[in-house]
Amino acid sequence: MGLAIARRLGQAGHHVVLIDVLEQALDDAVQALVAEGLSAQAIRLDLADDAQIAALPSRLGDRFEALGVLVNNAAISPKHAGRRAAAAEVSLQEWERVVKINLTAPFRMIQTCLPPMRARRWGRIVNISSRAGRSPGGVAGAHYVTTKTGVLGMTRAFAKEVASAGITVNAVAPGRIETAMSAGSPPEVLAQVLQTIPVGRFGTPEEIGAMVAYLAGEEAGFVTGATFDINGGVLMI
For the chain, strand residue ranges (E) read: 16-20, 40-44, 69-72, 123-128, 167-174, 227-230
Q: Cα 15–19–25 angle (5° rounding)?
A: 105
pTM over 0.85: yes
pLDDT confidence of 68, banded at 50, 70, 90?
very high
**157 in a structural domain:** yes
What amino acid positions are annotated as catalytic residues?
A: 144
CB 81 within 8 A of CB 140: yes
Average pLDDT, the chain: 93
Which of 20, 26, 227 minimizes the C-alpha distance to 135? 227
**48 in a structural domain:** no
Q: How many domains does the chain contain in total?
A: 1
**158 in a structural domain:** yes
Checking if the pLDDT of 79 tops 80, the result is: no
CATH code where residue 107 lies? 3.40.50.720
CB 152 within 8 A of CB 227: yes
List pLDDT tens digits, range 148-176: 999 999 999 999 999 999 999 999 999 99
**186 in a structural domain:** yes
